[in-house]
Amino acid sequence: MQRIGVFVCWCGSNIAGTVDVHAVAEALKTESGVVFSTDYQYMCSQAGQDIIKNAIHEHSLTGIVVCSCSPRMHEATFRKTAAAAGLNPYMVEIANIREQCSWIHKDMLSGTEKAIILGKAAVAKVNLNAPLTPGQSTVTKRALVIGGGIAGIQTALDIADAGFPVDIVEKKPTIGGKMAQLDKTFPTLDCAACILTPKMVDAAQNENIRIYSYSEVTEVGGYVGNFDVTIKRKARYVKEDICTGCGLCTEKCPQKKVPNEFNLGMDNRRAIYIPFAQAVPKVATIDADYCTMLKTGKCGVCAKVCTAGAIDYNAKDEFVKEKYGAIVVATGYNPISMEKFDEFAYSQSKDVITSLEFERLTNAAGPTSGKLLRPSDGEHPHKIVFVQCVGSRCENCAEKGKEYCSKICCMYTAKHAMLIRDKYPDTDVYVFYIDVRTPGKAFDEFYRRAVEEYGVHYIKGMVGKVVPEGKKLLVQASDLINGKQLHIDADLVVLAAAIEPDKSARPLATMLTASMDTNDFFTEAHPKLRPVESPTAGVFLSGCCQGPKDIPETVSQASAAASKVIGLLVKDHLTGNPCIAQSNELMCNGCSSCERVCPYGAITYEEKEFRMPDRTTKLRRVASVNPAVCQGCGACTVACPSGAMDLNGFKNNQIMAEVDAICKM
């Protein structure tokens, strides 16, 4: 049996004005379990808190009900008061008689009546309260960043800067991501490589950062503060620590016909390669799909020319197991496939290209050394058509496009158009748009410059079809402003392809039990207030894996994610919320209903031995809740068919007691 003390606050006249506080204190005296009841002007004041502390000692109280303002206001205060007097803080309940009673009712009679009922409900609940202790877990002071693009690099640099070790796992042979492939960046036209490569070098040289390139995460276990991650280091057949990156092997390799993915297949590389000059780590990688030695066992040229002796044809995939306190997802994006957009003749003509291909075509390190030449015949194009929203904002073609706006295309198309007009003023540039969306600092000015200073023809309308004819591409499009159908004989057509999350994101989300939306973007814990955290504790989001973003936004989010990680890693222990789900193993039938509704993956199953009434033992499958992961929403408690699952602090019988107190006839 509890010994409960009731403390009714006047809150000056805020409560006492419309609630007869003496009557409330008096009425609650007779409630079951109540041994002490009083009222005071300001319970939250030092004097008020002293009244509570003294009462706890004098009357040996085991539970407290404070009838005062909202628990969102002073629950923490009164819990601390109780703890200071040696009472478990979770034995305190608040009856909200200010925001939800005195402030909304004008009539003293009904206000008092309601306050008494709210008090009774709180007393009924405290009668069933049990002391709760928050669980504690340790924190592994090392972070994992998955993805080595600008988002991952920035996050890693910021975490490392705060003094915590951090590992970057990148599936490609080099970090740098998409930004390394870009030529210039809007809206200032800085060269992408000039601002990115110093950061890549910083990451490589930072002693707190370890880069696992050409690696993938294959398994994630554990929970916030204590993740167990398995990383697969794919065999690159070159010893990373010995290779000097001299590049001699990449010149001597006889296998010359490998499509160069860094230039999006617009030129070829060797079977042993370094993706680009500023690659980090600058070591060669053998492409096992093309290497003659690995396929037939006859060649070995690279091993012969390598003076460092770094080539190892017998290398195998290795698996590294590591513990992390926090994980940052920075898996980035890819342009969608244009193969299905037949109307633009992407598969029929080499001169219909995507914007990312265009970036390589204008890049000084690209296949044409920065000269704008048609991929088909190497001639200079004089009429270029840009098509925006290809696959973006596409509602009824889920198998082709994406429903969302890809956000970056308006700006990079303006950039492309501007760069062409700047370098080749004799070139006509047409941009077909549905809307030009430029919400960003100095973005609209940038777009207007393309139109006003550089004379780019912006035409509101869409391209209906592109037909390759001879050396030309016949573009049929609508001009909605002038009510005309246009026919343009273009030399080059550039498609602003929608962007989608990287394919590796979905399996990763499953491993992390992080939630995703229908487009495979990771969902954030709160769309406005917690935009860089995943709802799964300890998992953070950085860059385009969470939604389409440009570089400034990606970098801001990357640093924000880093600060959240640092905030987690500086803690020695994590104090959990004790109001979490708990399964009664004797009642659990192992049906997995709770596991399926848990948004955090906090519930696992274990086989346990139980003693049966006939003294035999039986192995049963029962649910167990990980206290470090459970956030206490209670979805599982309702899903549980046997009633085994309950939520501490909001137990079934506690809520039921509140219902009874309110409905008492």
Partner 1 sequence: MNNTELKKEILRISGVNVKKCMKCGKCSASCPAYDEMEFHPHQFASMIDNGEIEPLLRSDSLYRCLSCFACMERCPRGVEPAKLIEAVRLTAIRKQGANRMTADDVPQMLDDNTPGQLLVSAFRKYTK
Partner 2 sequence: MQDVKEFKPVIVAFCCNWCSYAGADLAGSNRLAYPADVKIIRVPCSCRVNPMFILRAFQRGADGVILCGCHPGDCHYSTGNYYTRRRMSMLFSMLDFLGIERDRTRVEWVSAAEGAKFAATMNEFVEKVTALGPNKRLEDLRCKQ
User: Where does this chain bind partner 2 (CB under 8 A)?
Assistant: 70-73, 96, 98-101, 103-107, 110-111, 113-114, 117-118, 121, 515, 523, 525-527, 535, 579, 597, 599, 631-635, 637-639, 647, 650, 652, 655-656, 658-660, 662-665
Which secondary-structure segment (H or E) carries 279? none
User: Of the two residues 491 and 658, which places its CB atom closer to partner 2 in the complex?
Assistant: 658
Which residue lies nearer to partner 1 by CB, 30 or 396?
396
Question: Among 122, 156, 463, 495, which residue interacts with partner 1 (rule: CB under 8 A)?
Answer: 463
Residue 358: helix, strand or coil by DSSP? helix
Shortest reach from residue 489's CB to partner 1, in Å: 16
Among the listed ranges 30-38, 46-54, 300-308, 477-485, the one in contact with partner 1 (CB under 8 A) is 477-485
Look at the block and give the residue holding tokens 């008689």.
97
| Cβ atoms 480, 338 nearer than 8 A | no
Residues 6 or more apart whose Cβ sits within 8 Å of residue 636: 581, 593, 594, 595, 597, 598, 603, 625, 645
Least Cβ distance, residue 573 to partner 1 (angstroms)? 52
SS3 string of 377-421?
CCCCCCEEEEEEEECCCCCCCCCCCCCCCCCCHHHHHHHHHHHHH
Residues with Cβ < 8 Å from 148, sequence gap 6 or more? 168, 169, 170, 172, 174, 175, 176, 177, 203, 211, 213, 330
Could you give the CA distance from residue 402 to residue 248 in angstroms, rounded to a whole number?
A: 44
Q: Which does 440 bind (CB under 5 to 8 A by kind): partner 2, partner 1, none?
A: none
Distance from C-alpha of 189 to C-alpha of 393, rounded to nearest angstrom? 27
Nearer to partner 2, 619 or 663 (CB): 663
Among 76, 84, 201, 397, binds partner 1 (CB under 8 A): 397
Counting contacts by CB under 8 A, is residue 478 touching partner 1? yes
User: Is residue 140 a contact partner of residue 226, using CB atoms and an 8 Å limit?
Assistant: yes
Q: Which is nearer to partner 2, 64 or 418 (CB)?
A: 64
* Nearer Cβ to partner 1 (32/485): 485
Question: How many whole angstroms separate alpha carbon 208 and alpha carbon 165?
Answer: 4
- Binding letters toward partner 1, positions 356-395, x by CB under 8 A: ---------------------------------x---xxx
By CB under 8 A, residue 515 contacts partner 1: no
Tokens encoding 399 = 């198998």
**Per CB under 8 A, does 401 bind partner 1?**
yes
Of the candidates 96, 102, 95, 94, the one whose C-alpha atom is nearest the C-alpha of residue 20 is 102
Least distance from C-beta 98 to partner 2, angstroms?
A: 7
Pick 405 or 579: Cβ nearer partner 2: 579
Cβ distance to partner 2 smaller for residue 277 or 659? 659
Q: Under the criterion CB under 8 A, does residue 462 sit at the interface with partner 1?
A: yes
- Residue 460 binding partner per list partner 1, partner 2, none, with a CB distance cut-off of 5 to 8 Å that depends on partner kind: partner 1
Name the amino acid, one letter, at 656.
Answer: M
* Pick 375 or 391: Cβ nearer partner 1: 391
Residues 313, 498: contact at Cβ < 8 Å? no
Minimum CB separation of residue 654 from partner 2 in Å reads 10
By three-state DSSP, how is residue 438 classified?
coil
Sheet containing 318-324: give its strands across.
Answer: 215-223, 226-233, 318-324
Instruction: Check residue 473 for interaction with partner 1 (CB under 8 A).
Output: no
Under the binding rule (CB under 8 A), the answer on residue 649 touching partner 1 is no
* Pairing outcome for strands 463-469 and 457-460: unpaired
As measured in angstroms, the least distance from the Cβ of 637 to partner 2 is 7
Chain positions contacting partner 1, by CB under 8 A: 343, 389, 393-397, 401, 434, 460-465, 476-478, 480, 483, 485
